[in-house]
Amino acid sequence: MDISNGSVLITGGAGGFGGATARRLAKLGAKVVLADVADDRGNALASEIGNGATYVRTDIMDEASIAQAVETAVALAPLRAAIVAHGGPPPPGKGGRTIDREGNRVGMAHFNHFLSVFLSSAYCVSSIAAEAMAKNEPLASNQRGVIINTASIAGFEGQPGQVPYGAAKGGIIAMALNLARDLAPMGIRSMAIAPGTFLTFAYDRMGTEKAQETFGPLVLNPKRMGDPDEYAMLAQQVVENDFLNGTTIRVDGGQRF
């Protein structure tokens, strides 16, 4: 799909995955809207990218805020791609294994928080973006747009203590094909990317060297954490390749938990 005369919405656009993807899609000529809450990083990235890139402060837990971000993108150019790559606020209460060593269970507030941040918000972005894309004039390829959600290998085989996160990401994996079926009559594709362990801003507190020492050996080959641009390469291919639809692609260096 040619997005050179379109806009792209990226939630989590100031983050590792989002920022790397924004840089790549802007080089294809798209006007990128960075939807995030990291104001300084988002504004700096929009200035760096140029080509009409815009930062919009967006609360992914608020439907009206998401709708405003979509409206911003549509005002720039027809919305052709939406990439859902956001994280969210920290969860309430203690996480860990479903039943801990003291016999206490993980509470529903903690579980529901992960569903809200990683699944419900992703559906909200996807549905509002699809509503806007459906109004586009189709391209010569008969395509109106594409939606890319971010799953995780935890949605396939999570570790102990990852029930809430794994359930949310498993929902993203299930949603990819179902969305594709729903949106096919409108010429809108749906895909998901399932990353393994990537060196994003989430590891800033740990530090790059410590993170690589801890998590790099878990990767089959190469023995390092993923670079966000390797996610972005795949996202770009999904945008450009109209025959990628309705599935989840792992990008994890062969890592298995």
Residues serving a catalytic function are 165
CB 34, CB 48: distance < 8 Å: no
What 8-state DSSP symbol labels residue 77? S
52-60 long-range CB contacts below 8 Å, 24 or more apart? 52/76, 53/22, 53/26, 55/13, 55/14, 58/11, 60/11, 60/12, 60/35, 60/86, 60/88, 60/117, 60/121, 60/124, 60/125
Alpha helices by DSSP H, listed for the chain, are 16-27, 39-49, 63-76, 108-115, 121-133, 154-157, 163-183, 208-215, 228-240
Closest C-alpha among 3, 6, 2, 4 to residue 78: 6
CA–chain centroid gap for 214, Å, is 24
Phi, psi of 6 (to 5 degrees): -125, 180
- Name the pairing type of β-strands 248-251 and 188-195: parallel
The length of the chain in residues reads 257
Radius of gyration of the chain (CA): 18
Q: Which two tokens stand for residue 5?
A: 């005369």
